[in-house]
């Protein structure tokens, strides 16, 4: 007990004698920066950008490693299309309010659809079934609506039901929702790394 008291007293004495630090704001080439002056030395303080740290993936077997690498490849392949879908959907929904009639809305949507198909149809047709399923999930992530709801909002219930039936023939589902906390947790981890430039 006496030893603990002696160590505690020693620590109090040491911390009491530490020199004080002064934090001051300086102008460095037109940019305000914080500095700390300690014992006559000036050190600059800097804020670092947010870093996302993901747990290291431990491959139990080489098959799992290959699956993960393939998933990253597939996500990187379809992510630009999902991002484009989100942007175009937002653009259409904000523009539709200013159109006067249903006919104008249909023509505007058809024009955007033709523009997208003219540019990306060949690439989209070459997607694998797995890439298509990932794209459906990422569209939900980008638009906060399932692909079924997007088609229904833009083309109507009949078209949505038609494309849902086609998707079901290929083992997909336009009504599937993106689940970043559950089933799609690994996809979300990869997406965050892609968006932060880590992949």
Q: Could you give phi then psi for residue 57, rounded to 5 degrees?
A: -80, 120
The whole-number pLDDT of residue 8 equals 54
Q: For 35-73, how does the pLDDT look when each residue is reduced to its tens digit (9 = 90+)?
A: 777 777 777 766 667 777 777 766 555 778 888 999 999
pTM over 0.85: no
Q: Which of 3-17, 156-170, 185-199 has the lowest mean pLDDT?
A: 3-17
pLDDT band at 17 (very low <50, low <70, confident <90, very high): very low
């Amino acid at each position: 007990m006496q030893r603990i008291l002696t160590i505690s007293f020693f620590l109090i004495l040491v911390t009491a004698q530490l020199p004080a630090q002064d934090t001051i704001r300086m102008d460095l080439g037109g940019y305000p920066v914080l500095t700390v002056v300690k014992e006559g030395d000036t050190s600059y303080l800097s804020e670092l950008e947010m870093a996302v740290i993901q747990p290291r993936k431990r491959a139990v077997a080489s098959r799992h490693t290959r699956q993960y690498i393939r998933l990253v490849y597939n996500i990187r392949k379809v992510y630009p299309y999902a991002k484009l879908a989100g942007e175009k959907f937002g653009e259409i929904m904000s523009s539709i309010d200013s159109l006067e009639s249903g006919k104008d809305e249909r023509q505007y949507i058809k024009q955007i659809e033709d523009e997208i198909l003219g540019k990306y149809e060949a690439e989209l047709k070459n997607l694998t079934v797995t890439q298509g399923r990932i794209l459906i999930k990422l569209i939900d992530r980008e638009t906060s609506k399932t692909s079924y709801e997007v088609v229904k909002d833009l083309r109507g219930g009949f078209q949505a039901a038609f494309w849902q039936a086609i998707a079901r023939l290929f083992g997909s589902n336009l009504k599937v929702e993106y689940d970043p906390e559950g089933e799609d947790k690994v996809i979300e981890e990869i997406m965050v790394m892609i968006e932060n430039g880590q992949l």
